[in-house]
Amino acid sequence: MLFHQARARRIMAEQRIDALVATSPDNVTYATGYWAMSHWARPGGPQVYAVIPVDGGGSACVITGSGNLDLVVDGEAWVTETYRYGFFSTRTDGPDLPALERSYAALLSAPDHGDAAGALVAALRDRKLERGRLAVEETAIQPAVLERVRAELPGAQIVPGARVFREIRTLKTPEEIERLRGAVRVTERGIAAALRVAAPGVAERALLAEFDRAVLAEGGVPVSSMCIGSGPRSAYSNCQAGDRRLAAGEVIRFDGGVRFRWYRSDIARIAALGDPGDKATRYYAALRAGAERAIEAIRPGVKTAEIFRVAMDTVRREGIPHYERGHVGHGIGINNYDAPDLAPASAEVLEEGMVLCVETPYYELGWAGLQLENTVVVRAHGAEPLVSLDNGLCVV
Q: Where in 237-296 is the site for a second copy (CB under 8 A)?
A: 237-240
User: Which range of residues in 1-9, 151-159, 284-292, 358-366 is near a second copy by CB under 8 A?
Assistant: 358-366
What residues from 6 to 45 belong to the interface with a second copy (CB under 8 A)? 24-26, 36-38, 40-45
Provide, rounded to whole angstroms, the least separation between the CB of residue 254 and a second copy.
14
> Comparing C-alpha atoms, which of 364, 360, 354 is closest to residue 384?
354
Nearer to a second copy, 66 or 383 (CB): 66
- In the bound state with a second copy, the residue whose beta carbon lies nearer, of 57 and 232, is 232
Among 164, 235, 241, 272, binds a second copy (CB under 8 A): 235
Whether residue 329 contacts residue 307, with contact meaning beta carbons closer than 8 Å, is answered with: yes
Three-class SS state of 325: coil
68 vs 187, beta carbon nearer a second copy: 68
Q: From residue 59, how far is each of 32, 56, 84, 253 by CA, in Å?
A: 12, 8, 16, 48
State the Cα angle at 161 between 114 and 339, rounded to 5°: 135
Cα–Cα dist 330/138, whole Å: 22
Q: Which is nearer to a second copy, 181 or 325 (CB)?
A: 325
Q: Does 359 bind a second copy (CB under 8 A)?
A: no
State which residue, 202 or 216, has the beta carbon closest to a second copy.
Answer: 216
Q: Can residue 143 be called a binding residue for a second copy (CB under 8 A)? A: yes
Residue 383 DSSP SS3: strand
- Return the number of the residue (43 or 201) whose C-beta is nearest a second copy: 43
- Provide, rounded to whole angstroms, the least separation between the CB of residue 113 and a second copy: 15
User: Taking a C-beta distance cutoff of 8 angstroms, is the pair 25, 73 a contact?
Assistant: no
Within 13 Å of residue 93, how many CA atoms lie on the same side as its CB?
1
User: Smallest distance, Å, CB 118 to a second copy?
Assistant: 17
Which residues are CB-neighbours of 331 under 8 A, at least 6 positions away? 169, 170, 337, 338, 339, 340, 341, 354, 355, 356, 357
Work out how close the CB of 221 gets to a second copy at its nearest, in angstroms, rounded to a whole number.
6
3-class secondary structure, 214 = helix
Which residues ranging from 41 to 100 are in contact with a second copy (CB under 8 A)? Answer: 41-45, 67-68, 70-71, 74-75, 86-92, 94-98
Output the smallest distance, CB 93 to a second copy, in A.
8
Q: Could you tell me the smallest distance in angstroms from the CB atom of residue 153 to a second copy?
A: 18
Q: Supply the minimum distance, in Å, between the C-beta of residue 280 and a second copy.
A: 14
How many other C-beta atoms are found inside a 10 Å radius of the C-beta of residue 263? Answer: 28
